[in-house]
Amino acid sequence: MLLRLLAAVVLLASPAAANVRATQAALPLEGGPDPYAIPVARTVASIIEYSRWPQDHPSIRLCMAGPAEHAERIAERPLTRSRAFMPLAIDTPAESLGQCDVLYIGRMGLDDQRRFTDAARDKPVLTIAENDPACRSQAMVCLLFEANGVSFRINIDAISRSHVRIDPRVLRLSVQGGAP
């Protein structure tokens, strides 16, 4: 509830900034075989850095659902407070229960994505969708791949339901609008 309020305040407070942000990519592309891999890793790691789970775990259990295209560098990112990523591949939504801190949803249909997000609802799981630019899958964070970089969209409704608390300052970094 508090988070929803905070998010609403943040959203209301910066309509002008939102317009500016909507046209610009956040993180620039890097070289290498997949130019999106490093910005994606950086974005995901930063969001995780500014997120709080009800219980602190020594490692962040990063669950990969479905085939992810740009997620291969995420687990390499360093995390503060001597935590580390613990990547886990899951196939069914039921597997996410109690095992995952972060659920990275790869390329799949909207209905499949919904099944994963439904399973993660009301749990302390941060959901990130790779293939949902309009953010209709009820994932909390939806990555946006633009020509010159990577940015993200957030689903305030999903964030407010979730038990994971994301720093409102991070929410301001997201591309606003677009979610139905």
Interface residues toward other proteins, by CB under 8 A:
13-14, 17, 20-21, 24, 26-27, 42-43, 46, 49-50, 80-81, 167, 169-170, 172-173
* Residue matched to tokens 């509830």: 1
- Whichever of 28 and 67 has its CB closer to other proteins, that residue is 28
- Whichever of 49 and 112 has its CB closer to other proteins, that residue is 49
Shortest Cβ 173–other proteins spacing (Å) = 5
Give Cβ neighbours of residue 98 (< 8 Å, ≥ 6 apart): 123
- Whichever of 24 and 92 has its CB closer to other proteins, that residue is 24
| Buried/exposed 64-103: b ≥16 CB within 10 Å, e otherwise | bbbebebbebbbebeeeeebebbebebeebebbeeebbbb
Shortest Cβ 5–other proteins spacing (Å) = 18
Shortest Cβ 145–other proteins spacing (Å) = 16
Structure tokens at 97: 């229960």
The rounded distance, in Å, linking the Cα atoms of 97 and 107 is 20
Shortest Cβ 24–other proteins spacing (Å) = 5
